[in-house]
Amino acid sequence: MRLVLRSGWVLMTRSKRFVCSALIVLTLGVEAQAQTTKKPNAQPAKKPAATSAPESAAAPAPGDAGEAGEAETPPAAADPTSGDDLGPPPPPAKAQDEKTRPSPLTPEPNEFPKGNLKPPPAEYDQLLSDIAALRSRVAALTTTLFKSKLRIIVETEGDDARITSFVVTLDDGVVFSVPDRFVAEDEKIVYEHAVAPGHHVIGVEIEREDARGQQYKTWQTSRFSVLVPDSQLLETHMVVADDSDMAEDFAEDEDGEYDVRVRLRARVTEP
């Protein structure tokens, strides 16, 4: 009985060893086959000594890709036109540059009519001729009706004063105007005509600049009331003087003075 049990134990022990050995051999074979299917890791390429710019990200090696698996691909962007009949939204408008933006006062291309302007009609020239003829008739009628006359004489003084604008008015109407430089070192008659007897207003508007410094300017307006006698000639003598030293003294010691005057003398003479 003992012999039988001993032999059975020996047989069972040998069977277990055989099974364990078979499992070990099978496991080693599977691992060996798995290693043979693997590819060796690729060696990273050597970077040159001097490169223009470093790469943002190195590409993964093929062996690492096999072990980590395929990289996840980002989901595709949804099509904005899918399910919408209006289409994609319009692109945002670009803001205009302040330097290239047109002024609000700039006219539009189609604001003015195309082509050259039409010449004025013949009636326009005829109207201007009639107005000139009427003025001549009024002047002649005034001379006939009124024997009273008014004479305006102008004289300028000032070596360094430059008169750039000179206007003489009579009863708020311009009777003499010089847009450019005006010089009257000697007495100069600027107006002589028959007028109605009675009160009249003589005015003068002057704009000057100093020859020693054009930034020093003066503007002057003066009005004078005169009485023209009946059937008499009233002669008025206007003297425009400028003795200012602002351009010379103020530039030296920051102390200067403007001295501008207009004098009018009136006297009755025979017509």
Task: Please determine, for residue 56, whether its predicted confidence score (pLDDT) is greater than 90.
Answer: no
Q: DSSP 3-state assignment of 195? A: coil
> What local confidence, expressed as pLDDT, does residue 192 receive?
92
Q: How far is CA 102 from CA 109, 110, 113, 142, in A?
A: 12, 15, 21, 56
**Degrees (nearest 5) of the Cα angle 141, 147, 152?**
95
Q: Are strands 233-242 and 260-269 parallel, antiparallel or unpaired?
A: antiparallel
Which residue, among 125, 238, 115, 128, has the nearest Cα to 175 in the 3D structure?
238
Average pLDDT over residues 101-120: 70
Structural domains present in the chain: 147-269 (2.60.40)
> What local confidence, expressed as pLDDT, does residue 98 receive?
57
Cβ-contact 196, 230 below 8 angstroms:
no
Average pLDDT over residues 239-257: 85
- For residues 27 and 264, the model is more confident at 264
Q: Residue 161: pLDDT band by 50, 70, 90 thresholds?
A: confident
> What local confidence, expressed as pLDDT, does residue 221 receive?
93
Task: Please determine, for residue 183, whether its predicted confidence score (pLDDT) is greater than 70.
Answer: yes
How many percent of the chain have pLDDT more than 90? 20
Task: Please determine, for residue 114, whether its predicted confidence score (pLDDT) is greater than 90.
Answer: no
